[in-house]
Chains A and B, each alone.
Chain A
Amino acid sequence: MRHIDKTVVGLTIAFLALLFADFFMAEWMRFIGLQSLARGTVALGLLVLWRTGLVSFGHALYFGFGAYAAAMLTLLGYHDAFFLVFAGTLIAGLLAFLLGFLLRRYRAIFFALLNMAFSMILYGVIVKTEALGSTDGFSVLAPTFLGYAPEGEAVQTTLFLFTLVFTYLITLGVHLYLKTTLGGMSMAVRENEIRVEYLGYSAEKVIHFKYVLSGLVAGFGGAIMALAIGQVDPDSMANWTVSGEFVFITILSGIGNVAATFVGALVFELIRTYAFEYAPQFWQFILGGSLLAIIMFLPDGIWSVLSRLRKAEKAPSP
Chain B
Amino acid sequence: MLTLIAILVDGLIYSSYLFMVAVGLTVIFGVMKILNVTHGSFYAFGAYMSATLVGIYYQTDLPEFGGFLAIFGAALVVGLFFGVVLERGLLRFLYHRDEHTIVLATFAMFLVLEDVLLMIWGTDPYYATEPMGLLGFIDYEALSYDLYRLSFIALAIVVGLGLWLGLTRTKWGKILLAVIFDREISQAMGINVTVVFLVTFVIGSILGALGGAYIAPTISVSPGIGVEVIVLAFAVVVIGGMGSIPGAMIGSLLVGISRAAAVHKFPEIELFVIYAIMAAVLAFRPEGLFAPAQARKI
A is bound by B: yes
Q: A residues bordering B, Cβ < 8 Å?
A: 55, 57, 102, 105-106, 108-110, 112-114, 116-118, 120-121, 123-125, 127-128, 192, 194, 239-241, 244, 247-248, 251, 281-285, 287-289, 291-292, 295-296, 299
Does B97 have its Cβ within 8 Å of any Cβ on chain A? yes
Does the CB pair B104–A291 fall under 8 Å? yes
Tell me whether A295 and B94 are in contact in the complex, defined as CB-CB below 8 angstroms, given that A241-B227, A289-B112 are known contacts.
yes
Does the CB pair B272–A125 fall under 8 Å? yes
Does the CB pair B287–A112 fall under 8 Å? no
Contact of A116 among B234, B274, B286 (CB under 8 A): B234
Residues of B within 8 A of A239 (CB): 227
Residues of B within 8 A of A194 (CB): 296, 298
In the assembled complex, the CB of B255 is this many whole angstroms from the nearest CB of chain A, namely 12
The 6 residue pairs across chains A and B that have the minimum distance between CB atoms: A124-B272, A288-B111, A285-B115, A291-B108, A288-B112, A124-B271
Given the complex of chains A and B, what is the CA–CA distance between A194 and B295 in angstroms?
A: 13
Given the complex of chains A and B, what is the CA–CA distance between A108 and B287 in angstroms?
A: 11
Residues of A within 8 A of B231 (CB): 116, 120, 240
Does the CB pair B115–A283 fall under 8 Å? yes
Residues of B within 8 A of A117 (CB): 235, 238, 275, 278-279, 282
Residues of B within 8 A of A285 (CB): 111-112, 114-116
Does the CB pair B99–A108 fall under 8 Å? yes
Given the complex of chains A and B, what is the CA–CA distance between A127 and B228 in angstroms?
A: 13
Q: Of residues B107, B270, B271, which shows the largest number of chain A Cβ atoms within 10 Å of its Cβ? A: B107
Given the complex of chains A and B, what is the CA–CA distance between A288 and B106 in angstroms?
A: 9
Q: List 19 A-B contacts (CB under 8 A).
A: A55-B100, A106-B282, A110-B287, A113-B282, A114-B279, A120-B235, A120-B275, A127-B271, A128-B269, A244-B104, A247-B104, A247-B107, A285-B115, A289-B108, A292-B90, A292-B105, A292-B108, A295-B104, A295-B108
Residues 83-102 of B at the A interface (beta carbon under 8 Å): 90, 93-94, 97, 99-101
Does the CB pair A114–B101 fall under 8 Å? no
Number of A-B residue pairs at CB separation under 8 A: 120
In the assembled complex, the CB of B113 is this many whole angstroms from the nearest CB of chain A, namely 8
In the assembled complex, the CB of A261 is this many whole angstroms from the nearest CB of chain B, namely 16
Does B110 have its Cβ within 8 Å of any Cβ on chain A? yes
Given the complex of chains A and B, what is the CA–CA distance between A314 and B103 in angstroms?
A: 36
Does B276 have its Cβ within 8 Å of any Cβ on chain A? yes
Residues of A within 8 A of B112 (CB): 284-285, 288-289, 292
Residues of A within 8 A of B235 (CB): 117, 120
Residues of A within 8 A of B234 (CB): 113, 116
In the assembled complex, the CB of A35 is this many whole angstroms from the nearest CB of chain B, namely 19
Does the CB pair A118–B279 fall under 8 Å? yes
Given the complex of chains A and B, what is the CA–CA distance between A112 and B275 in angstroms?
A: 14
Residues of A within 8 A of B287 (CB): 110
Tell me whether A102 and B272 are in contact in the complex, defined as CB-CB below 8 angstroms, given that A248-B104, A284-B111 are known contacts.
no
Does B35 have its Cβ within 8 Å of any Cβ on chain A? yes
Does the CB pair A288–B272 fall under 8 Å? no
Residues of B within 8 A of A292 (CB): 90, 105, 108-109, 112
Does the CB pair B276–A121 fall under 8 Å? yes
Residues 204-254 of B at the A interface (beta carbon under 8 Å): 227, 231, 234-235, 238, 242
Given the complex of chains A and B, what is the CA–CA distance between A275 and B64 in angstroms?
A: 45
Beyond the given A112-B100, A120-B235, please list 17 additional residue pairs across the A-B interface where CB-CB is below 8 A. Answer: A55-B100, A105-B286, A109-B99, A110-B287, A114-B279, A114-B283, A117-B279, A118-B279, A120-B231, A120-B275, A121-B275, A287-B111, A288-B115, A289-B112, A292-B105, A295-B105, A299-B101
Tell me whether A299 and B97 are in contact in the complex, defined as CB-CB below 8 angstroms, given that A112-B103, A117-B235, A288-B110 are known contacts.
yes
Given the complex of chains A and B, what is the CA–CA distance between A241 and B114 in angstroms?
A: 13
Residues of A within 8 A of B139 (CB): none
Does B143 have its Cβ within 8 Å of any Cβ on chain A? no
Residues of A within 8 A of B99 (CB): 108-109
Does B268 have its Cβ within 8 Å of any Cβ on chain A? yes
Residues of B within 8 A of A192 (CB): 298
Given the complex of chains A and B, what is the CA–CA distance between A287 and B108 in angstroms?
A: 8
Given the complex of chains A and B, what is the CA–CA distance between A244 and B100 in angstroms?
A: 11
Given the complex of chains A and B, what is the CA–CA distance between A110 and B97 in angstroms?
A: 18
Tell me whether A284 and B109 are in contact in the complex, defined as CB-CB below 8 angstroms, given that A117-B275, A128-B272, A299-B101 are known contacts.
no
Contact of A284 among B101, B114, B279 (CB under 8 A): B114
Does the CB pair B272–A114 fall under 8 Å? no
In the assembled complex, the CB of B277 is this many whole angstroms from the nearest CB of chain A, namely 9
In the assembled complex, the CB of B4 is this many whole angstroms from the nearest CB of chain A, namely 24
Does the CB pair B108–A288 fall under 8 Å? yes
Does B158 have its Cβ within 8 Å of any Cβ on chain A? no
